[in-house]
Amino acid sequence: MATQIAWPVAPRALKASQCSCDGCNHSVTTQLETRPLCLGHFLSVSLHEMDTRSACLKVKPIDTAVAASLKSFLADCMHQAEELSTGEESAIAPYRSGLLDIQRRCSELGRSLRRSPRVPASVPVWLRREDPRNTWEEETWTSTVSLHGAGFACRHSVEINGRVILCRRDKGKRVEARVVYSRFDSEGRRHIGVELLGRADFWDAPHLAAASAQ
């Protein structure tokens, strides 16, 4: 079972200016799950945590709570690595290769966590956020779908683990979904992936259920 590290002094850690690893005097570059880290320790801690937490993937069936925790960690790790890739320190070869390795590992582990395979599909949907402070809606099309999720382009800013509503424009079906990743492609377009929170029949594709059962 994966081991999770708790940081009970998170509020104080957020204000720290020095890396939280013992014996390290380097300045904080980023934080991972509220733990302040320099760039070097972000690389080492991220890889160690991935090795430790991914142990849950060897357990069948995978514990739902542990899998959810790993998904959240991978999303945070990927986001921080992408942000750090634009900084000056990332131009240094060891750091650059380390950040690329973290992004690669996050993608690989993310694929291992998927409950069902993705297939290319263009389904017209309305993507909506229903929040009194920030409500918006846009028309888009899926690029991939699976029994439990989908991927598509999105013009609006979304946060990892945020909730959105999907409405199929062809059939009127509606489902709530959780954002599991958000990234930009080489042309500056935002792509997001979501996990459906209910309605396994949302895409009306029996072959997806059959593939998931294999």
Q: Which two tokens stand for residue 204?
A: 């009306």
**Whole-angstrom Cα distance, residue 175 to residue 198?**
7
109 SS3 class: helix
The predicted structure's pLDDT at residue 210: 42
Residue 139 shares a structural domain with residue 105: no
Residue 29 shares a structural domain with residue 71: yes
Residue 56 shares a structural domain with residue 21: yes
Which helix (H) or strand (E) segment holds residue 95: the answer is helix 93-113
Of the CA atoms within 13 Å of residue 184, those in its CB half-sphere come to: 10
Amino acid sitting at position 84? L
153 SS3 class: strand
- What is the value of pTM for the model shown? 0.51
Residues 112-165 pLDDT 10s: 776 666 788 899 999 999 887 888 999 999 998 887 889 999 999 888 888 999
Burial class (CB in 10 A: 0-12, 13-18, 19+), 94: exposed
Residues 63-84 pLDDT 10s: 666 777 787 888 889 888 988 9
Q: What CATH number corresponds to the domain at position 123?
A: 2.40.10.220
Residue 154 shares a structural domain with residue 87: no
Residue 85 shares a structural domain with residue 175: no
Residue 86 shares a structural domain with residue 165: no
Whether 187 is in a domain gets the answer yes
The predicted structure's pLDDT at residue 61: 56
Which residue, of 113, 129, 155, is where some domain finishes? 113
Residue 39 shares a structural domain with residue 76: yes
Structural domain span for residue 138: 119-213
Residue 103 shares a structural domain with residue 127: no
**Whole-angstrom Cα distance, residue 17 to residue 38?**
10
CA 164 to chain centre: 15
Please count the structural domains in the chain: 2
Q: Which two tokens stand for residue 47?
A: 């890889």
